[in-house]
A and B are shown apart, each in its own frame.
Chain A
Amino acid sequence: MTGPEVVIALLTGLVAGAISGALGVGGGAIMVPAMVLLLGAGQETAQGTSLLVILPTALAGAYSHFRRGSLDFNPTWIIGLVGAAAAAGGAFIALHLGSSTLRIVFAVFLVVMGLREILRRSAAVEEPASSTRS
């Protein structure tokens, strides 16, 4: 990696990590396009690499919430287990689609996700009540 690429990668990680910690998403929506468009990675490599980065990111974010007492291990381990099985299937399919198809599929996913984030009614309406309760 060249010097500018290291800087771009650091900044990309910072933004993706901040969004991940704030909203509970993995940050892949930021990292994958940045790797493909700014760092010249292939679509598959960008997605696989993003999954690896998400691991410490999610751990760091989860720990930060854990210190604030917001973690419930009980329903979450089931979600993680079922999600892991689904991830294996999804990753296998992604590897066999071919780069250009995968890139289109990923872009469509980004549009759907982006529109949903923008259009959905904010759940923050319930927040003032929960934050004043304790």
Chain B
Amino acid sequence: MVPGMTALLAMSQRRAVANSLLAIVPISIVGVAVYYLGSGHPQVDLRLAAVLAVGAVIGAPLGAAVAYRVPERALRVTLGALAILAAVRLLLP
């Protein structure tokens, strides 16, 4: 969403980041509903979600504050490297 917002709607990078977080809200609500109700048994672990959310709610404002101080490039390369490492590990038996 962020590249689309900067390219098509001429938003600055930070505005696009802020607005994509807002747009994620209805998207995740619908996604959760389908995962919970869409198959025979709920594919949402409520207890695990609660613990993750505690960490995430603490981390999100920290990350938003960091974004105003650390070069975006460094954050993106870190995220990209983590994602690729995780993918390789997921594909290994």
Contacts and interface: CB of A to CB of B under 8 A. Distances in A.
Nearest to A30: B82
A41 B45 contact: yes
B28 A26 contact: yes
B21 to A, nearest CB: 4
A44 B39 contact: yes
Contacts of A103: 90
Nearest to B66: A22
Contacts, number: 333
Interface residues of A, number: 96
Interface residues of A: mostly helix, strand, loop or mixed?
helix
Nearest to B61: A64
Interface of B: 1-3, 5-6, 9, 11-36, 38-39, 42-49, 51-68, 70-73, 75-77, 79-84, 86-91
Contacts of A83: 1, 23-24, 26-27
Nearest to B86: A33
A113 B80 CA distance: 7
A55 B54 CA distance: 12
A42 B28 CA distance: 19
Contact of A111 (B35, B77, B83): B83
Interface in A76-134: 76-77, 79-81, 83-88, 90-92, 94-96, 103-104, 106-108, 110-111, 113-118, 120, 122-124, 126-127, 130
B87 A16 contact: no
Contacts of B32: 48, 51-52, 55
Interface in A41-83: 41-42, 44-45, 47-62, 64-66, 68, 70-73, 75-77, 79-81, 83
A33 B90 contact: yes
Closest 4 CB pairs of A and B: A13-B55, A17-B59, A48-B35, A21-B63
20 contacts: A13-B51, A14-B56, A14-B58, A16-B52, A18-B60, A22-B17, A23-B76, A29-B79, A30-B79, A52-B49, A61-B61, A65-B14, A77-B23, A84-B29, A85-B30, A107-B91, A108-B87, A114-B87, A124-B71, A124-B73
A29 to B, nearest CB: 5
